[in-house]
Chains A and B, each alone.
Chain A
Amino acid sequence: QVQLVQSGAEVKKPGASVKVSCKASGYTFINHATHWVRQAPGQRLEWMGWINAGNDNTRYSQKFQGRVTITRDTSASTAYMELSGLRSEDTAVYYCARRGDSFDYWGQGTLVTVSS
């Protein structure tokens, strides 16, 4: 069965960076894009960007351009999302999702807390 398992919760100070991993299983990793979506407390879901796991192409939301980097390791069937220059407004649950029929499978989410 398809599963996306994300890394654990993180607490970071303002200005730091965070890197979240998303390990895929149950399907051929390079055949599907991996997207990243975040949800701040009480807010709507917010799309951040995606990576074509087959050819390593990426595309980012303009809002996060310059601060977010999405990478992948095909040998480990894992995608990564790194967000730099963290501020308090980046406190959120970060999700990875597989692009199949829309975003058909999601990771369990990773809480990133930014606090001094």
Chain B
Amino acid sequence: EIVLTQSPDTLSLSPGERATLSCRASQSVGSGYLAWYQQKPGQAPRLLIYGASSRATGIPDSFSGSGSGTDFTLTISRLEPEDFAVYYCQQYGSSPYTFGQGTKLEIK
């Protein structure tokens, strides 16, 4: 099973700042099958990035993903108030499909 570890656990930033979230896998993620999701309280996760770097439909270009192998990054170039949420990475290249523990992005 591929274990995903996200860092930091909590990130405190102000609107307008840049956010960088990390996801490290215990072994290489096959075919770059790494996704990022945003989750707000009481809501289902929302797909942001798939294939490590492709934006999902309707996702603004302030969100970008990068990385390969075992190290991946989600960057939010300029934070909007609605971006403060919990972010999860997920690998869907090999079963069982696993998720990271999440990074909580909070307003400073």
Contacts and interface: CB of A to CB of B under 8 A. Distances in A.
**A and B, one complex?**
yes
State the majority secondary structure of interface residues on B. Answer: loop
**Chain B, interface size: which category?**
20 to 34
Given A102-B35, A102-B47, A106-B45, A47 B96 contact: yes
Residue among A35, A45, A101, A102 with most chain B CB within 10 A: A102
B42 to A, nearest CB: 9
Interface string A48-75: 0000000000010111000000000000
Interface string A85-98: 00000000001000
Contacts of B99: 44-47
Contact of A45 (B33, B45, B51, B57): B45
Interface residues of A, number: 19
Contact of B33 (A47, A59, A102, A104): A102
Contacts of B95: 59, 61
Contacts of A102: 33, 35, 47, 50-51, 90, 92
Given A46-B99, A102-B47, A102-B51, 19 more contacts: A44-B102, A45-B37, A45-B45, A45-B90, A45-B99, A47-B96, A47-B97, A47-B98, A47-B99, A63-B96, A101-B50, A102-B35, A102-B50, A102-B90, A104-B50, A106-B44, A106-B46, A107-B44, A109-B44
Interface of A: 35, 44-47, 59, 61-63, 95, 101-109
Interface of B: 33, 35, 37, 44-47, 50-51, 54, 56-57, 88, 90, 92, 95-102
22 contacts: A44-B102, A45-B37, A45-B45, A45-B88, A45-B90, A45-B99, A46-B99, A47-B97, A47-B98, A59-B95, A61-B95, A62-B96, A101-B54, A102-B90, A103-B35, A103-B92, A104-B47, A104-B56, A105-B47, A106-B45, A108-B44, A109-B44
